[in-house]
Chain A
Amino acid sequence: MVTKGSSLQVFSRPLGARRVVAPVIFALAFFIVWEVWLRFLPMSRAVIAPPSAIYTTIVNAFPILMKHTLSTLVEIMIGFMSASAVGIALGAAITLSTSIRQAFYPNIVGFQLIPKVAVAPLFVVWLGVGSPSRLAFSVFMAFFPIAVATATGLANTKGDAVRLCRSLTATNWQTFTSVRLPFAIPFVFAGLKVGLTMAMIGIIVGEFITGQEGLGYVIMFASSAGESAPLYAALLILATMGLGLYSCLLLVEVAVQRWYGAPFSSEGFA
């Protein structure tokens, strides 16, 4: 499922003014209609709140929101970093020999297909309702795509590159470090992008079911308390966090691409 393919385009015409202006106008219109509608046709505060109320909530409850935001953010980052380390190491270990790869790779890919979220309560049974269970679950969710992507990248080194090393009588280790590992980097990044999303899902679902702290907890608390404004506020912060973290990863990718010297347009998973 991982493809390091050419970049496909959704837009055939070059960037025109309409491509930038249209969505902006639509977004503005959306928010305006949202605000105005609720002023004239008020709906239950438990279900929906106008943007103005959401804004007020954020401003008033800022310290508390930030405390929970920080908790979620820190957990996501720790989870993602750990998952990357474990995933890359495992992915590399699998490709050590063809037999090991044939034995384990299908199993790991198979693990990808099962609904891993279902295992979350198991981590709570094992590790309690605190950070450790959420972190462990997040690592569990995220390390699979990273391991699969790393293994795929390492196993698919260009034939001529390997042949070049062999013709120079390079050792397996030399071939691995000079050629296999660097050529696998684009694949690894495709896996990291999926892994980041998985790490976030892990922490958020973990917060849903442990209900202690974090933005997930805020969401659950707000929905059961019948106050939707904090719920939307938390969602907004989460969305921003998601975009922010993903952008950071993209920046890292761009920096690595510059060192790598060749563009890699990894589409990632379908």
Chain B
Amino acid sequence: MRGRPQLSRTVGLPIATAVMLCVLWQIIVTANGIPEYILPAPFDVGRTLLASLPNLLAHASISGTEAVAAFLLATLLGFVAAAVLTYSPLLRDIFYPAIVGFQLIPKVALAPLFIVWLGTESASRITFATFLSFFPVLISTLTGLQNADPTAVRLCRSLTASDWQTLVSVRIPFSLPYFLSATKVAATLAVTGIVVAEFITANAGLGFLILSSGPRMETLTIFAAIFMLCIVGLSLYGTVALLERAGRRWFTGA
């Protein structure tokens, strides 16, 4: 049984590796004189980032708010739908095959469909991103609700608790770890959904910026926008991850 590895190794080493790779990137670009429109140097990307910060932030706020809206809707609807399906076995029987089927098909392909139905405004993008992130939340939460500790469920039944009471007092608390871990997936998918929707139809937002810079060979802008998008995505994911940890601590009492 080895001791726990020091913090400096587990955190420092990967960060050092990432930094080293960036340095390598810079060296390769400057040494080989690679043109900017193919692969810009990290330095130049950083410069552009700072120079166009207001513009980038404007686009980022559009994409960001849409992603957050989609995420919140997806988690809320996913949780409610899971609770409904747990409460009604009939609905569960009817819908579960469709839900599983939906998980197995590439749902991104449906993006243009949402545009066709709901137009080219942010409402359709948010709806699509919600649709994308809703399924993992639904399936995970449903699994959690259905697999609540059988002994606890039996206890409720022996106290002649109603299905609703069992749901609220036992199943929902037990399902929280499943729900919370799925929200992390939902966070990533929400951002993905917004970006894909912006590819297809948008006139603002980071996805739009990336796509429109392509034909103009403004690779520098693409990199800067991707970096910005990473920050948006990681912020959302990070917030959700912290909430998940807090939730888990509450659940296990640790």
Whether the pair A107, B17 counts as a contact (CB closer than 8 A) is yes
Minimum CB–CB distance for B92 against chain A, Å: 7
Whether the pair A46, B116 counts as a contact (CB closer than 8 A) is yes
Within 8 Å by CB of A11, from B18, B92, B116, lies: B92
Whether the pair B192, A223 counts as a contact (CB closer than 8 A) is no
* Secondary structure call for the B interface: helix
Whether the pair B97, A11 counts as a contact (CB closer than 8 A) is no
Task: Please give me the residue from chain B that is nearest to A120 by CB atom.
Answer: B199
* Secondary structure call for the A interface: helix
Distance in angstroms between the alpha carbons of A269 and B188 in the assembled complex? 13
Whether the pair B111, A10 counts as a contact (CB closer than 8 A) is no
- Contact partners of B195 in chain A: CB under 8 A: 115, 117-118
Within 8 Å by CB of B136, from A125, A208, A270, lies: A270
Task: Please give me the residue from chain B that is nearest to A98 by CB atom.
Answer: B5
Distance in angstroms between the alpha carbons of A125 and B218 in the assembled complex? 9
Within 8 Å by CB of A231, from B116, B142, B226, B230, lies: B116
Q: Is B166 an interface residue (CB 8 A)?
A: no
Q: Is A22 an interface residue (CB 8 A)?
A: yes
Q: Is A255 an interface residue (CB 8 A)?
A: no
Distance in angstroms between the alpha carbons of A31 and B225 in the assembled complex? 43
**Interface residues as binary, A197-224 with B (CB distance below 8 Å gives 1, 0 otherwise):** 1001100110011000001100110010
Distance in angstroms between the alpha carbons of A27 and B225 in the assembled complex? 43
Distance in angstroms between the alpha carbons of A209 and B108 in the assembled complex? 13
Within 8 Å by CB of A102, from B14, B184, B211, B222, lies: B14
Q: Is A105 an interface residue (CB 8 A)?
A: yes
Distance in angstroms between the alpha carbons of A76 and B59 in the assembled complex? 32
Within 8 Å by CB of A47, from B116, B178, B214, lies: B116
Distance in angstroms between the alpha carbons of A228 and B178 in the assembled complex? 38
Task: Please give me the residue from chain B that is nearest to A126 by CB atom.
Answer: B38
Whether the pair B213, A121 counts as a contact (CB closer than 8 A) is yes
**Interface residues as binary, B2-25 with A (CB distance below 8 Å gives 1, 0 otherwise):** 000100011001101110000000
Q: Is A242 an interface residue (CB 8 A)?
A: yes
Distance in angstroms between the alpha carbons of A121 and B10 in the assembled complex? 34
- Contact partners of A86 in chain B: CB under 8 A: none
Minimum CB–CB distance for A128 against chain B, Å: 11
Within 8 Å by CB of A205, from B191, B196, B233, lies: B196
- Contact partners of B200 in chain A: CB under 8 A: 208, 220
Distance in angstroms between the alpha carbons of A119 and B207 in the assembled complex? 9
**Interface residues as binary, B198-221 with A (CB distance below 8 Å gives 1, 0 otherwise):** 011000001100110110010100
- Contact partners of B233 in chain A: CB under 8 A: 113-115
Q: Is A259 an interface residue (CB 8 A)?
A: no
Whether the pair B105, A9 counts as a contact (CB closer than 8 A) is no
Further pairs besides A27-B98, A102-B5, A115-B195: 10, Cβ < 8 Å: A1-B185, A8-B143, A102-B14, A117-B195, A204-B108, A204-B109, A208-B200, A215-B109, A223-B112, A238-B109
Interface, chain B (partner A; CB < 8 A) = 5, 9-10, 13-14, 16-18, 37-38, 89-90, 92-98, 101, 104-106, 108-113, 115-117, 136, 140, 142-143, 146-147, 178, 181-182, 184-185, 188, 191-192, 195-196, 199-200, 206-207, 210-211, 213-214, 217, 219, 222-223, 225-226, 229-230, 233-234, 237
Interface, chain A (partner B; CB < 8 A) = 1, 8-13, 18-19, 22-23, 26-27, 46-48, 99, 102-107, 110, 112-122, 124-126, 197, 200-201, 204-205, 208-209, 215-216, 219-220, 223, 228, 231, 234-235, 238-239, 242-243, 246, 269-270
A-B contact pairs, 29 of them (CB 8 A): A1-B181, A9-B147, A10-B142, A11-B92, A11-B146, A19-B93, A22-B90, A26-B95, A46-B116, A102-B5, A102-B13, A104-B17, A105-B14, A107-B18, A110-B14, A117-B199, A118-B195, A118-B210, A118-B225, A121-B211, A200-B106, A208-B199, A219-B112, A235-B110, A238-B105, A242-B104, A242-B105, A269-B185, A270-B181
